[in-house]
Chain A
Amino acid sequence: MLAPSGAEESAGGFGYPAPGSYRLDHIFRAPQGIVLEGSRFPHLLSSYTKGAITLLSFFYTSCVDPQGCPLAWEAFEEVRAAAIARSDLRGRLRLVFLSLDPARDKPGTLAAFSRAYESGSDSARWHFLTTYSDFFLRPLLHNFGEEIALDRAASAAGAPVFNHLLKVFLIDHEGDVREIYSNQSLDVSAILGDIETLLMEAGMRKD
């Protein structure tokens, strides 16, 4: 088991508490919506936020924010690697990236990313989702509390640049958001501890 310690404990911080020894609030219910994966066939977002523990973040393929997409990407890679390595997480964790830029991030474009992560997908499948248009995206952003703004000056030279606050949402089996990580708190040790806590809460963790 990967014991979370993190938080620079050796440098004087408080280590993360043992999984299951603390409670994660039910912050809000993950919103409803229509998303696309691999084709223009519509899917309910709830099919990606229920039935397994889900780690979800917004992203876009032309992202130019070093405090955003790369941080989330790196964290997802590490969580995915842990899920592949650990039998107690197998099949119980889902990773979701949802595009902020439906005009450019078409289902076909994102399918390449899905294919790239097919290996190990039985342990923790990584879904790359988009929407038909901003009309479908905006309610999802609003209901997740994800504020974005087009940076017109930075976008003038080419691809659009969206200023957005990095948020990674940890969602339980029932579809409730139980933790939100920002660029200040996106620590893989904390994420894994929270995942274990949710598994223990659901009586699903194998020691």
Chain B
Amino acid sequence: MQTNVAGRLAAAIVAACLGAVAPLARADETCLSPYMAALIKGQEAYLHVWALGEKGIGDESDKLVTIDVDPKSKTYGKPIDKISVGGQGEAHHMGFTDDRKYLWAGRLDDSKIFIFDVGTDPAHPKLVRTIDDLPEKTGYVGPHTFYAIPGRMVIGALSNTTHDGVTGLAVYNNQGEFLSAHPIPAENGGDGYGYDIAINPKKNVMLTSSFTGWDNYMRDLGGLVQDAEAMQNFGNTMVLWNLKSMEPEKVLAVPGAPLEIRWSLKDGDDWAITATALTSKLWLVRRDAKGDWGAKEVGTIGDPAKIPLPVDISISADAKTLWVNTFMDGKTHLFDISDPEHPTQIYEKTTGKQVNMISQSWDGKRVYITSSLLANWDKKGADNEQVLRAYDWDGKDLNLKFEIDFFKEQLGRPHHMKFSAAADKASP
């Protein structure tokens, strides 16, 4: 009898819930953690840009710059806020906490991590905490990727305190307290390098990629490419991890520094794609006919002989297309990946003298591009333009809507970008 009562009560609640709108996101604007809240499927209101400080530019400090990107706003296309964090520490990537209330931003040189409150007033973020214990707690340096899991942040580091690049993952809670470290395998096929993180929660799978150590990424690019021995010190692997145990399960050979990883967001898909910086290839990670995970080269980006250096990629929400930026030639490429085994380039445009990061809205109609790769890898002289460019994508062409010259505006070198919606003032 009591079971029946329970069943009726439960059924009543379930019935009351039918037909409701889910406020949660399966994934974020095409490239963030699948645990992320508050997906922006409409017009983003603000673009947060993590910018590197530059000697002789403004206050010379690394800073978080917030741009108004709402076309209906009077300040559309203008910087409306900036927060300097002090010094030049090689500002690089950012990531939201799972509740999207806080934005973590890392520096590759001094390994500091800055936590900004972007939930209270996204037009005017506030710096609320600085984490400086990553090297002490883990032996890792260069916090690169910030990937939210419930209540925690998984941080993918690039190097170690000896600067040779054998590194790992660190887990912090959302309060900024260190929890655990997980070394990237350096034996049995592993090379120990780290870069990006991407999780497929339904498969209990985490995938990581590999770049290079502090000795290389902090070195002038011109000298680096002439140093044959140093050029050997790049990652040639990806690692599949058991997400629950945070233990590596399988090392995949992916030569040429595989960088950004994007899982298909399409329901039922279980493949991921990446681009290799040094070999200019697209690689697909998926199961074979026997059910074993593997990686295979599936496409070429530009002319690899010219080393176009593919950097950031951005997958569409329907997993049919992939944007790829190549840094050296300043081109933005669009690939049809509806058959991920056979990507085909369908569009190409020169979008700058040097281009690095690329972010698209959920509907794919807006595309944002920034110029800076690394302070010592950016081009020199007149080719060292430092800009944010915002485009509309009409399905055939990228149409420039606005651009901001970060040097002219005394803001530094623009790198990673994240979207925010307008503040929701509602509260319980």
Smallest CB–CB gap between B239 and chain A, Å? 12
Q: Is B98 an interface residue (CB 8 A)?
A: yes
Residues of B within 8 A of A78 (CB): none
Residues of B within 8 A of A182 (CB): 35, 98, 150
Contact A69/B17 with A147-B101, A166-B24 known, Cβ cut-off 8 Å: yes
Q: Is A108 an interface residue (CB 8 A)?
A: no
Cα A73 to Cα B287 with chains together (Å): 33
Contact check, A25 vs B9: say whether CB atoms are below 8 A apart.
no
Q: Is B405 an interface residue (CB 8 A)?
A: no
Residues of A within 8 A of B22 (CB): 65-67
Smallest CB–CB gap between A117 and chain B, Å? 6
Smallest CB–CB gap between A59 and chain B, Å? 8
Contact check, A150 vs B426: say whether CB atoms are below 8 A apart.
yes
Contact check, B428 vs A134: say whether CB atoms are below 8 A apart.
yes
Contact pick for B203, options A12, A149, A165, CB 8 Å: A12
Contact check, B202 vs A63: say whether CB atoms are below 8 A apart.
no
Contact check, B151 vs A180: say whether CB atoms are below 8 A apart.
yes
Most chain B beta carbons < 10 A, residue from A13, A184, A190: A184
Residues of B within 8 A of A205 (CB): none
Contact check, B9 vs A6: say whether CB atoms are below 8 A apart.
no
Most chain B beta carbons < 10 A, residue from A151, A166, A182, A193: A182
Could you give, for residues 12-23 of chain A, a 1 whenever the CB lies within 8 Å of some chain B CB and a 0 otherwise? 111111000111
Smallest CB–CB gap between B378 and chain A, Å? 37
Contact check, B13 vs A69: say whether CB atoms are below 8 A apart.
yes
Most chain B beta carbons < 10 A, residue from A28, A116, A150: A116
Q: Is B228 an interface residue (CB 8 A)?
A: no
Contact check, B6 vs A149: say whether CB atoms are below 8 A apart.
no
Contact check, B20 vs A65: say whether CB atoms are below 8 A apart.
yes
Contact A66/B204 with A26-B179, A116-B9, A190-B244 known, Cβ cut-off 8 Å: no
Smallest CB–CB gap between B245 and chain A, Å? 4
Q: Is A188 an interface residue (CB 8 A)?
A: no
User: Which residues in window 409-425 of B have CB below 8 A to A?
Assistant: 424
Interface 9-mer from B168-176, B219-227, B272-280, B295-303: B168-176
User: Which residues in window 46-69 of A have CB below 8 A to B?
Assistant: 61-69
Residues of B within 8 A of A32 (CB): none
Q: Is B381 an interface residue (CB 8 A)?
A: no
Nearest residue in B to A65 (C-beta to C-beta)?
A: B20
Contact check, A70 vs B14: say whether CB atoms are below 8 A apart.
yes
Q: Is A87 an interface residue (CB 8 A)?
A: no
Q: Is A203 an interface residue (CB 8 A)?
A: no
Q: Is B205 an interface residue (CB 8 A)?
A: yes
Contact pick for A145, options B2, B17, B151, B177, CB 8 Å: B151
Smallest CB–CB gap between A72 and chain B, Å? 10
Contact check, A151 vs B426: say whether CB atoms are below 8 A apart.
yes
Contact pick for B21, options A70, A73, A149, A154, CB 8 Å: A154
Residues of A within 8 A of B205 (CB): 13-14
Cα A152 to Cα B425 with chains together (Å): 10
Could you give, for residues 138-176 of chain A, a 1 whenever the CB lies within 8 Å of some chain B CB and a 0 otherwise? 100000010111111010000011111111000000000
Contact pick for B6, options A15, A65, A67, A116, CB 8 Å: A116
Q: Is A119 an interface residue (CB 8 A)?
A: yes
Smallest CB–CB gap between A193 and chain B, Å? 8
Contact A116/B5 with A25-B171, A28-B175, A67-B24 known, Cβ cut-off 8 Å: yes
Residues of B within 8 A of A151 (CB): 23, 426
Contact check, A25 vs B5: say whether CB atoms are below 8 A apart.
no
User: Which residues in window 60-114 of B have CB below 8 A to A?
Assistant: 98-99, 101
Smallest CB–CB gap between B180 and chain A, Å? 5
Nearest residue in B to A63 (C-beta to C-beta)?
A: B17
Cα A64 to Cα B13 with chains together (Å): 8
Could you give, for residues 103-141 of chain A, a 1 whenever the CB lies within 8 Å of some chain B CB and a 0 otherwise? 000000000110111110000000000000010011000
Residues of A within 8 A of B151 (CB): 27-28, 145, 167, 177, 180
Residues of B within 8 A of A14 (CB): 203-205, 240, 242-244, 249
Residues of B within 8 A of A119 (CB): 2-3, 6
Contact pick for B201, options A67, A163, A185, CB 8 Å: A185
Contact check, B9 vs A112: say whether CB atoms are below 8 A apart.
yes
Contact check, A17 vs B23: say whether CB atoms are below 8 A apart.
no
Smallest CB–CB gap between B43 and chain A, Å? 17
Most chain A beta carbons < 10 A, residue from B16, B175, B270: B16
Residues of A within 8 A of B26 (CB): 184
Most chain B beta carbons < 10 A, residue from A25, A148, A151: A25
Residues of A within 8 A of B174 (CB): 145
Contact check, A7 vs B17: say whether CB atoms are below 8 A apart.
no
Contact check, A64 vs B179: say whether CB atoms are below 8 A apart.
no
Contact check, A8 vs B18: say whether CB atoms are below 8 A apart.
no
15 extra interchain contacts, Cβ-Cβ under 8 A, other than A17-B245, A147-B99, A149-B424? A7-B204, A13-B203, A13-B270, A14-B243, A16-B204, A16-B244, A17-B244, A27-B173, A64-B17, A64-B20, A66-B22, A113-B6, A113-B9, A116-B6, A149-B427
Q: Which 7 A-B pairs have the closest CB atoms?
A: A13-B203, A7-B204, A163-B23, A180-B150, A22-B245, A116-B6, A64-B20
A-B contact pairs, 18 of them (CB 8 A): A7-B202, A13-B202, A14-B244, A15-B204, A27-B151, A64-B17, A64-B20, A65-B23, A65-B24, A66-B17, A66-B20, A73-B13, A118-B2, A147-B99, A152-B426, A182-B98, A185-B35, A185-B201
